[in-house]
Amino acid sequence: MSKITLTETAKVLLAAKSVIIASHINPDGDAIGSSLALMHTMTKLGKDARVFIDDAIPSIFAFLPGAEKIERPPETITEKLRPDLFVILDASLDRVSRVRELVDAPTLNIDHHVSNDGAADKLYLDADRAATAEIIYELVKEMNAEFDYENALPLYTGIATDSGFFRYANTKPFTMRAAAELMEYGVKPNLVSEATEVKPFAVVKGLGAALSAAEIFHDGLAAGIFLDYPTVKELETTEGFIDEIRVIEGVDVAVLVKCQGENMCRVSMRSKTLDVAKIAMKFGGGGHVRAAGCTLKTSFDEAKKIITEELNRALSEEVA
């Protein structure tokens, strides 16, 4: 792996005639937004560009131009795709699932996660950026490409969703300036928040039930929502649930554990001070200091026990 600069990254992109862009499973607004914006920009530069994500695309992102063009690897991969360049956005190579088996090409990884594993051939990592979409915004300029509604809307969406609509600690003057400039191309912030925050009635009721069952521990420094498999099965999404307990007075760390199968529990963490990326990485996950996640291949009860114990330990150490 070699770490490269923004200028070198732009050159690598410009040198390719065909690219396959991939992002992580459990795709969020930044994964989808930065992928679509780069695909559109590369296409306008006359290149052959495709996006592959090995997961379902949440319906809340269907409003993004080009969302319908996102492809998924076939059930059985019989033939490898060989573009000039394989670009992995917003995650390390290990989180693109089967796209890795589908594509055989030199890899360029563009990311803002401190936990990036550095496995790609070339890496452009800027952990000070609130979103990978901010980096793509910089690259559009660096490549002397143009902004229009088709790349501005997904870029704005990536930046807005990853910064909690400009509320999280990762929001910098740069974040706001980039967003303001993207608005010049017709982006309407109210429409982006309406589209991405819409929830089915059943999910809002599920949120109510999850909040009723929420727990606080470690003298009120931690709050948790723990959802077993039958509960999760009834919910289309748990997006935003963790934000509702993050705000509890005195809470530093919020955790959401949701079991998606027999021995498959997803963990999301948010914090004000504790380094949750460190905890997630301990369990093979990753993320940022204040927002991270991992998957525990254990039963629901075991996952709940493991993560509460780990948070109790980390919070004791921090105070000590």
Which 106-145 positions form the footprint of ligand 5GP (CB under 6 A)? 113, 115
**Token pair 């693109």: residue:** 96
Q: What is the 3-state secondary structure (H, E, C) of 60-118?
A: HHCCCCCHHHCECCCCCCCCCECCCEEEEECCCHHHCCCHHHHECCCEEEEECCCCCCC
Q: Give the residue with the Cβ less far from ligand 5GP, 203 or 291.
A: 291
- Please state, in angstroms and rounded to a whole number, the distance separating the CA atoms of residues 1 and 37: 25
Residue 162 binds to Mn ion (criterion: CB under 5 A): yes
> Which span (59-67, 205-213, 283-291, 308-316) binds ligand 5GP, by CB under 6 A?
283-291
> From the centroid of its chain, how far is CA 261?
21
Please report how the helices 132-142 and 6-15 are oriented relative to each other, as an axis angle in degrees rounded to 10.
70
Residue 292 binding target from ligand 5GP, Mn ion, none, CB below 5 to 8 Å by type: ligand 5GP
Residue 66 binding target from Mn ion, ligand 5GP, none, CB below 5 to 8 Å by type: none
Residue from the set 49, 294, 311, 314 that interacts with ligand 5GP by CB under 6 A: 294
Determine the straight-line distance between the first and last CA of the chain, rounded to whole angstroms. 38
- Please state, in angstroms and rounded to a whole number, the distance separating the CA atoms of residues 311 and 143: 44
> Which span (100-108, 183-191, 287-295, 299-307) binds ligand 5GP, by CB under 6 A?
287-295
Shortest approach of ligand 5GP to residue 91 CB, angstroms? Answer: 6
> What is the enclosing helix (H) or strand (E) of 235?
none
> Which span (40-48, 118-126, 155-163, 207-215) binds Mn ion, by CB under 5 A?
155-163
> Which span (23-31, 134-142, 187-195, 200-208) binds Mn ion, by CB under 5 A?
23-31
Both tokens assigned to 10: 């732009």
Shortest approach of ligand 5GP to residue 44 CB, angstroms? Answer: 28
Q: Give the residue with the Cβ less far from ligand 5GP, 18 or 171.
A: 171
Residue from the set 225, 255, 292, 303 that interacts with ligand 5GP by CB under 6 A: 292
Short-list 143, 112, 120, CA closest to 16: 143
**Token pair 């563009």: residue:** 110
Residue 33 binds to ligand 5GP (criterion: CB under 6 A): no
Q: Residue numbers of the site for Mn ion (CB under 5 A)?
A: 30, 90, 132, 162
